[in-house]
Structure 1
């Protein structure tokens, strides 16, 4: 009876929470809503009273007159709950139709009420006309939209801003107040990185934060950003740390640009920890409620030693190596490589279930922290190696370290034939150097007695040939009058260049036979009879649509890479998976039907032969003048062989125009063409020599980028005999 009552009570509570959650909406608390509205729209901040902009920005699409961000972190008194408040306020002048389109609709997060977690949202929007008239847009006009992100449902509100005109100012704020109970007395809030430039120029901006009661703050200003100042607000008895900034030019999204490395930025993180937990867990902590601006090498050493001590050898890896007597291998070079492959296999074995149930998160590369499990195994087997600790190139240099979670890890195995291990991905193999660390300064650490200290080293940079893509294209003019071609594509990729194609075109069933043969296992489902039947049905359904899924994925990919209309892609064949050292290249073939390369000229035909060279960069006029250094993912090279079958009764003119070359220190492009029997054969090569170039080298890059793009505009004439 008691159980029945408890179940009924629980059900009623759930129904109550579910039903009341439907009643909550943005600005649901009138008293709190009015207070927040007053704090934004009647604050006395003169920056948000301005209506005029500097003449130098009159040709911009929009100008941010004022921008304010306030973040507040605190622990409740006597309770175990934490509060995180995020307040944003913008005042923007719209100067063209593009800006009107950009700001004609807003997404507002909806209130969220879950177990031990409540978020209330308050928002306000008003339009200020050139005449001074202010029009408040009721948030109640917003339309609720539901969606899914990373397998989680979410709700947002879409608010339309009607009747916007050039010269209008839109002034809006969004305030989120989160109250929740953490699962432990050691909780890390999500880190935050601010850029002081945006796609629109900024007249005035302010970033403030405050932390209270058992909270730590880590803070770093980068690339000339102003320093934070301590400000005491006696009215609400709080201490704020505030940065004020002004006159920031607009920065559009640029090609090969790492903004956090070159424009003024701020990164910070807040940690809540009770005293006992703060002492137990190492981390980059300063004093309660006081910003910490630097991290010492000793703090990094303490962190890696703690993480290493807390890490265990993967039980599945150890069991596999022991069961198959691989631990007895005397050749440490071979043992280290076999252990990586076995670790990958045991980590992803059984992934069939996740594939057919559409759990894509499972197939993402494991965190670099997972490599510590492998390091533990190597130490146990006395395989010499070191753990490399660094910050991804796109974030900052090691000298600007301030957050624990910006660190990533890599291994270097120092056996007879040394090699690197970047991560544990389902298609990742050993021997690659994480491109995010290539050329970077990192810490190197080895377990005692070899180590017990950190030393700085520089990670090598791949040569362009290490990340090569080679393509062979055989073209048949299927119907010249209908502008229809058919071509067979064979593509081989290695190094970092293969990962995109592996993830696009492979799944568990692609390499399962290869894995079964190597590791002698079966992929039968486990569990109760009903569950096995359910999974078998899901597998059948998945396999029925699998071929079409890959065809469509490759078609969409090629549509963005080729300057032609991709009509059909089929007959995809994976010749090599590229997952093992003995066959390191990923190789696939496919057949493609396309339009947009043939034009009839009297009795003759113009063929856009250059369009069969895909993935070429077309620089805009704005891109030709560059102010920032060039950060690329990695050095890389591309080789093409294009073969056009010449229809009977036609000759080819314009072959000599297909020979070209532009080569310098940054990279190059070259192409050569010849007639051989009934074929026109073109060979081309393009390469980027480095993963980084100073901005002074940009004109050299432009030369070969232009040459490669210009080649895509080349044509030959099929002349009727």
Structure 2
């Protein structure tokens, strides 16, 4: 198993130099030199003697400096880890480094775009050594032991044993030129990780023109200022000790419950770029910003989200149309915009990506309009609302896993959508190919938000509000399953009608629909032309159509292969035959409309077992696998955070073979129903058909850990149902 810690490390590993350079030796001395206060640390507290491994020392460093137009960003990590069992030995026997370091974020400084050039990495170094129980140290020759595999650098650590200490560092330096302003990628993490930590130290070093947003949460230590010899230089540290390991669990948001910290560093050379920066900057570089007020939110966004845009195309669409009310008008406008500014270009995007035709967008006119981001959408849609004299509020929200809006610190964590103040409020956000009116991220549901509004022609008011929460009935997965057995009892035929609405259909839409399944639907609905119909020359039209048809056929074949594997995995069957799939309804014009598709297949020697002259049918498996809680999961202490309330409803129709009766249907009747959720099932026989219905419900998106035992009740009932069987008794 490759070392898990590397998920959080950022390294592009270079093997170009031979031997150790002066810079490499300098980096090595920084971590392992005379000033290393942890070079002899090897003791483990008694409370952690039974752990797989313990991190004796963890050190992280972030340095931000400038010289002229150049900016240098250095990040480094060191860990000293004692391995206490064979599992840890295996875990740390191989390091795998990927290009996980991202360039600093390029931020649009309104109205002028940021322009800066990223240079080659000026230094990326790794050091690894093993300390044996007798004190002997073995330094790994990283270059010699490195192997390049699929774009990754793998380093094997041989002869590791229980009781060894592995001590390693990773150092990376980037330099680039910048005249304007930009923000480095934010860091949001818990103090704890996979193994307990005895001693942890984080260090910052910055200077003028670097602005820091930093805060600690849930009892994590505060960032402390370290005096420096220069007024323009600043150093900070965060120190912690005796940190218990992070235990991963289902439905758990670690940043909400565990000690954690968040920060972002922003670079801005002068006051005018500070004003244009898309960030909540502190007043001065020597101030650590720990929170953001609603007034600061309004100040940052009041001009950026001012209504603006050419809505002439929308006015043309509304010509000669009448609507019952503003709800209907706003809904129609949203779906038309989704098509006019996005889905009508989907074919061109596919053609461009496939290399069928360079720059196919020229067929849509000299200046086709694209809406490319949330800000542009907000400005454009509010311009329409302003023209129609329909009130609105701009919603500023944060996802639940990142904490409350009152803890807002980093602008990148902001989610923006619109609340349209029609008789029944409508929520809309930046569209994708399948987004619907009143659809926004379920992780925003039920959160406190800021609502910004305009008194006249300026966004100048802000107040607190709350987003609604959907119900389990609104987020439904529904499946009707018909099961038939052949005369020889050697093969089953299964056909399903699958329907999804609300948040349950979001992933299914992208998984199941090809672009042809929805762009043609939109062309028909709005009376617009397909890409091929934009092409005037017959020769070009024929050529592009042939290439596009061939591409579509390939995509259909790949989809069928993928869906066959999905169905085999879901029903746990092998080598299915006669697989079919068909879209019935796309469900793209309303969150409460169903995406519906059918599937059918045949499978041999599955769900049926012979028992003398009779047969056992594993009827419960047709609702597919359910959550099977481990003993560890049953003793949960964390609160339960789920994406959204939801329901899973199944109807099984089993055609009873002639000459047989069914025994054991009483075991198919269950009812667990409490305030957290439910599992309810029923069974009955009508003529020669067994009908089984099941309903599994998650009633809320959050439960305190005190309600966990109630959730366990219906989770166990659903899992137990998958083991239920009926007997086909020969008459």
TM-score, with structure 2 as normaliser: 0.87
What does residue 87 of structure 2 align with? 98
Instruction: Give the SS at the match of 2:601.
Output: strand
Q: CA deviation at 1:559?
A: 4.6
The reply to whether residue 59 of structure 1 matches residue 50 of structure 2 is: yes
What does residue 11 of structure 1 align with? none
Q: CA deviation at 1:568?
A: 5.1
What does residue 124 of structure 2 align with? 121
In structure 2, the CA distance between the partners of 1:478 and 1:376, relative to structure 1 (3 Å rule), is farther
What does residue 251 of structure 1 align with? 246
Bigger Cα displacement from structure 2, 347-356 vs 700-709: 347-356
Match of 1:299 among 296, 300, 303: 296
Instruction: Give the SS at the match of 2:700.
Output: coil
Instruction: Give the SS at the match of 2:175.
Output: strand
CA contact (8 A) 1:118 1:179 kept: yes
Match of 2:313 among 312, 317, 320: 320
CA distance in 2, matches of 1:264, 1:214: 30
What does residue 656 of structure 1 align with? 666
CA distance in 2, matches of 1:523, 1:181: 44
Match of 1:139 among 133, 137, 142: 142
What does residue 330 of structure 2 align with? 336
Instruction: Give the SS at the match of 2:580.
Output: strand
What does residue 432 of structure 1 align with? 439
CA distance in 2, matches of 1:132, 1:528: 80
CA contact (8 A) 2:81 2:166 kept: yes
CA contact (8 A) 1:563 1:611 kept: no
Bigger Cα displacement from structure 2, 698-707 vs 233-242: 233-242
CA contact (8 A) 1:211 1:289 kept: no
The reply to whether residue 74 of structure 1 matches residue 65 of structure 2 is: yes
Bigger Cα displacement from structure 2, 570-579 vs 54-63: 54-63
CA contact (8 A) 2:438 2:591 kept: no
Match of 1:41 among 18, 32, 37: 32
Q: CA deviation at 1:400?
A: 0.8
CA distance in 1, matches of 2:555, 2:66: 50
Give 1:177-188 correspondences, 5 Å limit: 177-182=173-178, 184-188=179-183
What does residue 214 of structure 2 align with? 219
Instruction: Give the SS at the match of 1:570.
Output: strand
Match of 1:634 among 610, 632, 644: 644
CA contact (8 A) 2:182 2:277 kept: no
Q: CA deviation at 1:681?
A: 1.2
The reply to whether residue 701 of structure 1 matches residue 699 of structure 2 is: no
Q: Deviations over 1:94-135 (max 9, x none)?
A: 223332232222123579999642212110111222222222
What does residue 168 of structure 2 align with? 172
CA contact (8 A) 1:193 1:268 kept: yes
Bigger Cα displacement from structure 2, 100-109 vs 531-540: 531-540
Q: CA deviation at 1:561?
A: 3.9
Give 1:258-277 correspondences, 5 Å limit: 258-275=253-270, 276-277=272-273
Q: CA deviation at 1:527?
A: 7.5
CA distance in 1, matches of 2:62, 2:129: 23
Give 1:336-485 correspondences, 5 Å limit: 336-348=330-342, 349-355=344-350, 367-372=373-378, 373-449=380-456, 452-478=460-486, 482=490, 484-485=491-492
Q: Deviations over 1:329-373 (max 9, x none)?
A: 5743332112111111022222123335658xx9xx975434413
CA distance in 1, matches of 2:21, 2:508: 54
CA contact (8 A) 1:327 1:335 kept: no
What does residue 720 of structure 1 align with? 730
CA contact (8 A) 1:564 1:611 kept: no
The reply to whether residue 209 of structure 1 matches residue 213 of structure 2 is: no
Bigger Cα displacement from structure 2, 524-533 vs 489-498: 524-533
Q: Deviations over 1:160-182 (max 9, x none)?
A: 12222222221111111011124
CA contact (8 A) 1:71 1:87 kept: yes
Q: Deviations over 1:382-416 (max 9, x none)?
A: 22111111111111111111111110012111113
The reply to whether residue 308 of structure 1 matches residue 305 of structure 2 is: yes
CA contact (8 A) 2:195 2:245 kept: yes
Bigger Cα displacement from structure 2, 325-334 vs 408-417: 325-334
Structure 1's unaligned 5+ residue stretches are 1-20, 148-154
CA contact (8 A) 1:422 1:434 kept: no
Q: CA deviation at 1:202?
A: 1.4
CA distance in 2, matches of 1:305, 1:295: 15
Q: CA deviation at 1:328?
A: 7.3
Q: CA deviation at 1:243?
A: 0.6
CA distance in 1, matches of 2:536, 2:606: 55
CA distance in 1, matches of 2:602, 2:44: 53
Structure 2's unaligned 5+ residue stretches are 1-11, 104-115, 355-360, 362-370
Match of 2:22 among 25, 31, 36: 31
In structure 2, the CA distance between the partners of 1:424 and 1:477, relative to structure 1 (3 Å rule), is same
In structure 2, the CA distance between the partners of 1:166 and 1:582, relative to structure 1 (3 Å rule), is closer
Q: CA deviation at 1:430?
A: 0.4
The reply to whether residue 548 of structure 1 matches residue 537 of structure 2 is: no
Q: CA deviation at 1:655?
A: 1.0
C-alpha RMSD of the superposition: 3.0
What does residue 14 of structure 1 align with? none
In structure 2, the CA distance between the partners of 1:112 and 1:391, relative to structure 1 (3 Å rule), is closer
Q: Deviations over 1:660-702 (max 9, x none)?
A: 1111000110101112222221011111111001110100000
CA contact (8 A) 2:501 2:591 kept: no
What does residue 151 of structure 1 align with? none
Match of 2:158 among 148, 158, 162: 162
In structure 2, the CA distance between the partners of 1:431 and 1:251, relative to structure 1 (3 Å rule), is same
TM-score, with structure 1 as normaliser: 0.88
Bigger Cα displacement from structure 2, 701-710 vs 228-237: 228-237
CA distance in 2, matches of 1:122, 1:177: 9
In structure 2, the CA distance between the partners of 1:305 and 1:237, relative to structure 1 (3 Å rule), is closer
CA contact (8 A) 2:671 2:680 kept: yes
The reply to whether residue 570 of structure 1 matches residue 566 of structure 2 is: no
CA contact (8 A) 1:206 1:242 kept: yes
CA distance in 2, matches of 1:558, 1:655: 26
CA contact (8 A) 2:619 2:726 kept: yes
Q: CA deviation at 1:626?
A: 1.1
Q: CA deviation at 1:242?
A: 0.8
Q: CA deviation at 1:206?
A: 1.3
CA distance in 1, matches of 2:235, 2:488: 71
In structure 2, the CA distance between the partners of 1:420 and 1:509, relative to structure 1 (3 Å rule), is same
In structure 2, the CA distance between the partners of 1:368 and 1:102, relative to structure 1 (3 Å rule), is farther
Q: Deviations over 1:25-81 (max 9, x none)?
A: 3788610001101111125343453222122222222221211111111222x2x12
CA contact (8 A) 2:234 2:286 kept: no
CA distance in 1, matches of 2:329, 2:501: 24
Instruction: Give the SS at the match of 1:339.
Output: helix
Instruction: Give the SS at the match of 1:465.
Output: coil
CA distance in 2, matches of 1:294, 1:342: 39
Q: CA deviation at 1:288?
A: 1.3
